[in-house]
Amino acid sequence: MGKIIFQVSMASAKIRHFRDRELRDGERVQFHWFYFSVFIVLHIAAVLAFLPSMIHLSSFVVFFILAWVTGGLGVTLGYHRLLTHRSFATYKPIEYMLTIFACLSWQGGPIQWVGTHRQHHTESDDVADPHSPRDGFSWSHLLWIVHRARSNFDPLKLTKDIQRDRVLCFIDRYWYVPQFILAAGLFVGGWLWLGHWTGGVSWVLWGGCLRVVLLYHATWFVNSAAHTWGYRNFKTDDDSRNNWWVALFSFGEGWHNNHHAQQRSAAHGMRWFEFDITYVTIRVMRIMGLAWKVVEPQRPGQSVAEPHP
């Protein structure tokens, strides 16, 4: 009996060893079973969206509109360029609206997201970077999110400005709730539009699960691919790269070397061919009087054109 207990405990220790991750600085980070389970369920649901009975034109339309609202306006414009870097200023109600849109991406609340990203900028590809490919490509893309936060990371220390705003704190506390409200709305909307309850399921799978999963990977590719493949306009101290296909799927975030070089710039695309839909959005907002204090990029001619050594 004692021998069996010993063997079982040895086996579980081996499994734990496999799932917990040892990083460059020797820290062993614990696997997060709950997050992992949520990601598995979402990925399975995303695949189910491609069942023939789930494919409807209206589901595609719902998917594209919500992907832009939550990924483009929410995560990229709201969480990243507005809250993290203050690349522009806008009215508070618009700031709160963009933050709620970002919550619908299920990438965490504003304090966690902004704190993680600010840590990424202060420690870019150094040992305390939360998601550097130097700890492994799979770690930077996906594994870091299914492990517990590292001991050297405290989002509260990095987000004092966010915490001074009581509305943002309220949104942060209940960041996961809007997704459930949206899912209920999608189910009812799809049922009414398509005339059958399976239409509601289709809208939930396309506008909810598939959208969230694809936006996860679009965001994660900025951390993984845009620190691995692509060209460099600036000699930064990190591995950031400008990657056109990441830029395409992440609403302009793939011009990541430009962004690491000029973190507060509202524009991430800086050369004529570096199309950046989010900067276009900011310019349209400025024309409409909805954005001001827009931080323009510095364009030091020779350094912008400089290839990676």
Using CB under 5 A as the criterion, which residues of the chain lie in contact with Zn ion when the complex forms?
240
Q: Of 172 and 238, which has the nearer Cβ to Zn ion?
A: 238
Closest to Zn ion by CB, 23 vs 266, is 266
Q: At closest approach, how far in Å is the CB of 81 from Zn ion?
A: 8
Residue whose CB is less far from Zn ion, 29 or 261: 261
Q: Which residue has the tokens 């979402």?
A: 42
Minimum CB separation of residue 44 from Zn ion in Å reads 30
CB of 141 to Zn ion, least distance (A): 13
- Residue number closest to Zn ion, CB atom: 240
Nearer to Zn ion, 90 or 242 (CB): 242
Q: How far is the CB of 219 from Zn ion (least distance, A)?
A: 11
Q: How far apart are CA 178 and CA 25, in angstroms?
A: 38
Q: Which long-range contacts (CB under 8 A, 24 or more apart) does 23-28 make?
A: 23/127, 23/135, 23/139, 23/150, 24/127, 24/134, 24/135, 25/127, 25/128, 27/150, 27/151, 27/152
**Which residues, including other chains, have CB under 8 Å from residue 51's CB and lie 6 or more apart?**
none
Residue closer to Zn ion, measured from CB, 56 or 264: 264
- In the complex, the smallest distance separating the C-beta of residue 257 from Zn ion, rounded to whole angstroms, is 9
150: buried, middle or exposed (CB in 10 Å: 19+, 13-18, 0-12)? middle
Residue 131, classified by CB atoms within 10 Å of its CB into exposed (0-12), middle (13-18) or buried (19+), is buried
